[in-house]
Structure 1
C-alpha cells in the first residue's frame, strides 16, 4: 500500500471529500489561478491514486461551490471570481480590528438579557456583575463567514443598547469615552463544524473551522467583552508583520540598508 493510500485510511472522511479539500486549497492558495485550466481527470486519478468516479465527485463539489467551471470540449477551469469570494483578513492589532469592522453590519440571531457568565481563564480578567449575550452571523458579499457568540458586560451594553444591536460591538466600545481599556487579546484554535455551525455557515458537518476567543478588559480589570467567534476556514487569511512590534533601533540592516520605522503612536483606548 502506498503512503498516499495509508494517509486516506487514517481518515473516516470519504475519499472524494478528501480530494476535494486538496483541490480547494490549491485554488484558494493561488496554486491554480483564476481562469486557469486544472489538471485533467486522468492526471488527477493518477496523482491521487483513486478511481475516476472519486475524482469526478470531488470536482463536482467544487463546481457546485462555484470554484470550478467546466467548458465543453476544453476542460475544467478555475472560476474567475472564486479567489475573491472569501479570504477575510484576520486583524492582528486593535486599530486594524476596528478598521475591519467599521462597515460591518451583523445579522442578529438572538439577544439574551439574562445570560449566565462566560467562562474565563486566569488571564481573562474578572467577571462583570452581569452580562448580555448577543449572537450574530457575519456576512461578506452575502456569504456567511463567521458566527459570533458574545458576552458583553451589562453596564457597557446599557450605555448604548440601540447601537450594540445594529453595529459591531468592538467598534461601539472603541467610540465610548466612558470606557478605558487596559488589555485586549485573542486566541486562535482549529476546530470543526458541528450541526448548528455547519447550517449557519453553509458548510458541511465536520468541516474545518478557525475559532477565535477574544477578550477585552477595562482599566478596572473587568472582562467587558468576551467573544467566541467561529470562522469557516476557507474564509480566513492571517498575515502577521513579524517586525511590527520591534523597536526601530533594534531592527537589523538588511542587504546593506538600515531599517526605517515610523514613530509609535500612543492610544488612550488600548
Structure 2
C-alpha cells in the first residue's frame, strides 16, 4: 500500500496510477516539512530508483505537481519546492449531484450495496488507512434523465463517520449527495478533492449494470476528498459513460464532486 507518511512503498495492485501515488508521497513529504520551500527535490533518476518506476512515471508526477503549484522547475538546475502558497482552499466545492441538478437534468441514485467492511487495498491506499481499519462501502448507479450514466464505489472511514447508515442517502434530491450527507449529518468540512480520470474499457458486470456492451469505453474517475485538516475522508471510484461528458459540456457545467 501507499504509506503517505513518507515510505517509498507504492501499491501496484490498485487502479490508482503510479505517477499519482508518487506525487502524493512527495506532496506529503512537502507538507510535513521534509522538503522546505526553495529546497531541491531528488533528481528524476534518484526518484526513479527510489520508487522503482519508469522515468516517464516520475516525469508525469513532477509535471502534475508543477501544474498544481507545488514544485517549480529551474532551467539546468533541477526542481525545487515552490515558494508560492501550496494550495488555495476550495470554496463552494460542488457535488456531482448539485451540478447535474443545476443543469436542469434529473438525477436519481440507486444504491446496490451498502455495508461496513475492512478497507480493501484501494481504500487503504487512497485513505491512508492501516490494514483492518473499517470503512463504509457503497456501490451505486447514478441515473441522468432516466439513463444509467455512472457506476460508483464509495468508501468512507468509520473512524470519521461512526453511525453512517444507508438510510441517510436518498434516491433523489440533495440527500443523494455524499458531500451533503457528510456535511449535514457529520459536520465534516470538505476543503479540496483530487481527481484522476483515465479511459478504460468497461467489464461485463459493469456493462450490464450500465446497459451498454462489454468493452464500451468509459472514463474511470478516482476521487479523493480531504477535510479541513488535510486528511483524506472519502474515496470514490466511478465509471462514467463517455456521453455524460458531452451532457455536462453542453450545459456548460463541469463536475468537481460526486
TM-score (norm. length: structure 1): 0.47
